[in-house]
Structure 1
Amino acid sequence: MSIPFPVRIQAAVVRAVYALPHGLRRAFAGKPEVRDGQTLALDAQVILKFQRMSKATMVMPGGVGPSRDEMEHARHLVGGPRIEPVAVRELGIPRERGETPARLYTPAGLGGASGLLVYVHGGGWAVGSMESHDHVARFLAQRARVRVLSVGYRLAPEHPFPAGLEDVQAALDYAFAKAVDLGVDPERIAVGGDSAGGNLAAVAVQEAVRRGGPVPVFQLLLYPVTDLSTKRRSYQQFAETYFLTSDNMDWFADRYAPEPLDRTDPRISPLLAADLAGLPPTYLSTAGFDPLRDEGEAYAQALEAAGVEVYLSRQSDLIHGYANYIGVGHRFEDATAEAAEALRKALGC
């Protein structure tokens, strides 16, 4: 898909600022921001300055439509050039009524019977798409040397809970059932996602264990939503200013799990599951300047208490959604590369 001319100009401006010497980038971003004993990375301050100048937010005035458009627009600004060579195959995953679109990414030079990551994009269950996270899927595929199956699950509010979850569960079942056709080793299937996608991935794994079917050997959770029933301390500390806000999360939750749904249901809030034993080894990252930080870390602690092997990585100087910014600066790419390396090691690639 061609990029509109005004967007190309904006992307060029963003790249030009990131190419400036450190001192000039610091002058553009302003003095260092320190909160809760953490110093925000300069790369993160620069992107926040751009977002504030453009008045971009996770939830745009006008609701769902403009918010979705904004996320698709943003990927051209911060995702970077398309990562190649990666082969892409469009798929349809059968569900009870119709199909869920999916996209299989295969990095060049990857042999048959590889590992697979079933990837679930973020966006508050209401925005985001396979397109908005195309660069993330390509990055993980190439860096981890695995195939990636990106899932285009149904979005709220048109399709509230449990529609998206059902699509992700169907995608997991499909990955195991069609492993040979996908060129995948069924013993090396992982699941992962970012933000709301991390929530759906975590719940889908819990449900796989509960059902007694095949279970992924690894889960990759980037700054996941794990508890919609309450707001922890990080919500108060980072309620606004750092792109994802407390009000944004209220808006997303009201569309995905509106009243009278019980948000203590573990299928909505996986942290509240009664038993976490039997879940696969997990890489879980949080961002220091993120309302979701504390609930993500609480989930890592709960997994560890249940005997699950967990690697918790707080990227203390970054903001929510950092994997989407891999095309600008270096800090976002470094953090996302750490996750890709954990996936590579977990799947023996």
Structure 2
Amino acid sequence: MALDPQAKALLDMVYRVGAPRFHELDVAQARHSFEKLQFALRPEMPAVASVTDVPIPQARAADGVIMARLYRPLSAGPDEILPLTFYFHGGGWCIGNITSHDVLCRELANHSKAAVLSVDYRLAPEHPFPAAVDDALRAVQWSLANAGMLGIDPTRFALAGDSAGGTLSAVTALAQRNAQGPRAALQLLIYPSTDILSQRPSRREFANGYMLDTGSLTWFFEKYLPEEDDWQDWRASPIRAARFDGLPPALIITAGCDPLSDDCKAYGEVLREAGVPVEMLEFEGMVHGFITLGKFFSQANEAVLQAGEALGRAFAAGGAS
């Protein structure tokens, strides 16, 4: 698949100036580099009705809190009870934060006319697997149990995220199903990592020169999963789960020139085979990470709009089961 001209222009710029890749940086440098890219190329910040920081207590008080940020859409009345999208940011479980995805979460709230809770889960290598998985599940369970405090409807929620956050959304959906907990109205999976040990063709075709290269993938995986046995765990690679029935409907957004694209499509297929409704939305010529770069990519703005509208339709169709 050919690169979109705008994607090629971005990559030419990045590689021409000799910007180091993630695996050539230490963790602090990688986090700073990622934030600089997000701030430079994200769209203008849209207004929302309110933004509230939410400290979510861990199960044990000694473990502190998980910080989250609640966005209410511009269309919402002050006392309106809203559906809720849980959003888990991308960044290879090592970089990214609430701030890096602030604009995206505002856009999704406005497009879906629902609240969005962006979860600042713990990052590796300081907190390796399964800390992020545990935080994602804790954030969902606590928020639904405290829906009245948040002004949200616990019967209408969705799980969403990009890249590593898409993986956390998929894994949380599986964990909720396994625990016979409430089922989300939708899982919105934006180019998730579904199979860490994958050898599918896109891993080779887009191995170098397409933003997320093999060296950086390995850097993220090794930081997140220092124990080799964990690479086989379904909570790291959800395509390795024992079964896929009973999961929420899924919208999977992929980038055409992404080493993870075939893994995303394979996950969509295993969901379909289990009877889960799946919509695949591919943006041809795009690279991994494009959806937060709406100042540079018109396709990012279209993808966010379609994602928000899909969330709105899922909430209108009914609540969690």
The bucket for the TM-score relative to the shorter chain is over 0.9
Aligned residues: 312
Alignment of 1:114-133 (within 5 A): 114-133=82-101
Aligned position for 1:24: none
Q: What SS does the corresponding residue of 1:228 show, helix, strand or coil? A: coil
Q: Give the C-alpha shift of residue 237 in structure 1.
A: 0.0
Q: Give the C-alpha shift of residue 204 in structure 1.
A: 1.0
Residues of 2 paired with 1:216 and 1:42: CA distance?
37
Match of 1:81 among 21, 44, 59: 44
Q: Which stretch of structure 1 is more off in the superposition, 215-224 or 108-117?
A: 108-117
Match of 1:264 among 195, 213, 232: 232
Match of 1:100 among 46, 66, 69: 66
Answer whether contact 1:234 1:292 (CA < 8 A) is retained: yes
Residues 37-91 of structure 1: per-residue CA shift (max 9 Å, x gap)? x232222222223322343355063311100001111122101221113421001
TM-score, length of structure 2 as denominator length = 0.93
Alignment of 1:124-273 (within 5 A): 124-273=92-241
Residues of 1 paired with 2:23 and 2:194: CA distance?
24
Alignment of 1:20-31 (within 5 A): none
Alignment identity in percent?
38
CA 1:103 to 1:54, structure 2 compared with 1: closer, same or farther past 3 Å? farther
Answer whether contact 1:176 1:214 (CA < 8 A) is retained: no
Structure 2 gaps of 5+ residues are none
Q: 1 or 2 for the larger relative contact order (CA 8 Å, sep ≥6)?
A: 2
Answer whether contact 2:283 2:299 (CA < 8 A) is retained: no
Aligned position for 1:109: 75
User: 2:213 is matched by which residue type in structure 1?
Assistant: T
Residues of 2 paired with 1:260 and 1:320: CA distance?
25
Aligned position for 1:48: 11
Answer whether contact 1:194 1:224 (CA < 8 A) is retained: yes
Residues 86-119 of structure 1: per-residue CA shift (max 9 Å, x gap)? 4210011111311001000112221412111000
Residues of 2 paired with 1:43 and 1:340: CA distance?
24
Structure 1 gaps of 5+ residues are 1-37
Residues of 2 paired with 1:122 and 1:39: CA distance?
25
Residues of 1 paired with 2:23 and 2:240: CA distance?
31
**Bigger radius of gyration among the two:** 1
Q: What SS does the corresponding residue of 2:230 show, helix, strand or coil? A: coil
Answer whether contact 1:289 1:317 (CA < 8 A) is retained: yes
Aligned position for 1:13: none
Answer whether contact 2:75 2:113 (CA < 8 A) is retained: no
Q: Which stretch of structure 1 is more off in the superposition, 138-147 or 323-332?
A: 323-332
Segments ≥4 residues shifted beyond 6 Å: none
Match of 2:294 among 310, 323, 326: 326
Aligned position for 2:27: 64
RMSD of aligned residue pairs (Cα, Å) = 1.5
TM-score, length of structure 1 as denominator length = 0.86
Residues of 1 paired with 2:309 and 2:8: CA distance?
26
Residues of 1 paired with 2:151 and 2:240: CA distance?
36
Residues of 1 paired with 2:312 and 2:20: CA distance?
33
Answer whether contact 2:89 2:97 (CA < 8 A) is retained: yes
Q: Give the C-alpha shift of residue 315 in structure 1.
A: 1.4
Residues of 1 paired with 2:272 and 2:149: CA distance?
35
Aligned position for 1:34: none
Answer whether contact 2:23 2:216 (CA < 8 A) is retained: no
